[in-house]
Structure 1
């Protein structure tokens, strides 16, 4: 089902044409949502981890998400130039369209419930980096219960990031998680169809509300 974006930020559609040029299931999509902030030290480790992995990446760096307000203007161009086109940085992306793109092989996420559901709905395995609220529970379900992702347990250091990305995009373990993610996608699809569990729950809620007269 298509829907308009709920974000107040303008979506950079240029990332879709960039994805069109990448190999299938080769790109890691990186986005930490609309609230979390990242320190300069963390942003450096993320950048170097992405570089060390040698995998193409699409990275959303939202205005206000980096503690240094000038980082977006002074750093990404030099960083991307050194990688010779292997990465792309945007301020905001059409997330559902990105996750549905055949070039995307993994999603590095904060595991907010919306992002987690969108990743499941497109069968994309996740690299989990929860920050607060329900995100820790969601990440544990993704990595330990459903086994469709990797929890970044080792800390936000470039070597750990590099290792986790390769587990998802290069190694056999990542392929198994991708197969599991596709199976979970099918289960999610059944839930929202007529007489599916989600459909029944919504009908029950509506009936409950209408019962008050």
Structure 2
């Protein structure tokens, strides 16, 4: 069974965005091991899941990007499933299609297909839905050395009383970002 991997930039105080959805707080210093980690994560996946906002941001920039490592080519070539109530097909980004059914049915079907990891970048509203449905297998939180306090917005854990997670890996990147990999704790009979 394929795994759903949520890869999310976050602040020390748990926010995915600042005021008005900005991410200007993201560490600009993506050093050597940061790039390698991002590269390995992308190449371990064979499908991207995106919400409308993340899709529109990425589709507005990735198609024109190039690099020597093949990262941009991989990002543009991967199949992408987009969950949106407002977008209409055809979508403009290469290999992007709108989800054909409700999120539970679509993601459960995708997980049951043979293949590699399914990666979700950002897409907080989609992640929250998948969490409610118990469909997230791994949370990969890229914790940036900054706090936003009262100006922070969009924590994936907003609206949840308790989330039991098990730490499975920690990586300190040369950019100062700490990567925390968690898996949901499952209880028998749940």
TM > 0.5 between the two?
no
> When the two structures are superposed, what TM-score results if normalisation uses the length of structure 1?
0.34
Is the helix fraction higher in 1 or 2?
A: 1
Q: Which protein has the larger Cα radius of gyration, Structure 1 or Structure 2?
A: 1
Is the strand fraction higher in 1 or 2?
A: 2
Q: Which has the higher contact order (CA 8 A, sep 6+)?
A: 2
